[in-house]
Amino acid sequence: MGKGGNVAALTSESIIFSDISSLGSISRTGRISQDNSKGKAGEAIVAINPGGEEMWARLQSKFGSPGKPFVVLNNAYSTSYDIGNKKGYEEVYYLKRISKGWIYRAYPGKWEAYLEKPDGNTELVESYKNKPLLREVSNMVRELSFKRYAIGNDRWSKGFGERL
């Protein structure tokens, strides 16, 4: 992608190809739920909101090509009660709300835990080389928030009555 290769966009919604063809090297579009006879065509695949990891594997098997990226974008839910997925896919961009903060990653960077302060700003409080466990990061951020701000670190909305 971005190096002159073709990209197929698969989504659960209908896309009119002519509406997006000027946005880059998109070679075709398709609906996730429909049978697409073109199958593997040597393209990178961007699957937009495809559902759970089981669907990712089916799409990658059907449309993915060796050596080409397979990207899941804007997945609406996770089938894991942890960070990311349970099928071993690499999280390239990841942002998850946790109690009193956020977990973030931008590949190839580290996993980062952010504390959300009472004024809405965030502070990087820990970074991890390997994907941490959700419960460990959540507990650490929540405990740090309580230690610094006691119960005064609820979500903040300046101009709308301050603390929500």
Of 117, 136, 118, the closest CA to residue 126 belongs to 136
Check residue 155 and give its pLDDT.
59
Higher pLDDT, 57 or 132: 132
Residues 6+ apart with CB under 8 A from 155: 116, 120, 163, 164
CA 76 – CA 91 distance, rounded (Å): 15
Does residue 22 carry a pLDDT above 90?
no
Question: Confidence band (pLDDT; 50, 70, 90) for 13?
Answer: confident
In the chain, the percentage of residues whose pLDDT exceeds 90 is 27
Q: Which two tokens stand for residue 122?
A: 């965030």
Check residue 63 and give its pLDDT.
82
Q: Which two tokens stand for residue 62?
A: 């059907």
Evaluated on CA atoms 22, 23, 25, 31, the torsion sign reads: negative
Q: How confident is the model over 137-162, as pLDDT tens digits? A: 999 999 999 999 887 776 555 555 55
* Strand duo 162-163 + 156-157: pairing: antiparallel
Question: Confidence band (pLDDT; 50, 70, 90) for 2?
Answer: very low
Q: How confident is the model over 27-56, as pLDDT tens digits? A: 666 666 665 546 667 888 888 877 778 888
Q: How confident is the model over 122-137, as pLDDT tens digits? A: 999 999 999 999 999 9
Burial class of residue 7 in the structure, from the number of CB atoms within 10 Å of its CB (0-12 exposed, 13-18 middle, 19+ buried): buried
DSSP 55: H
Check residue 144 and give its pLDDT.
95
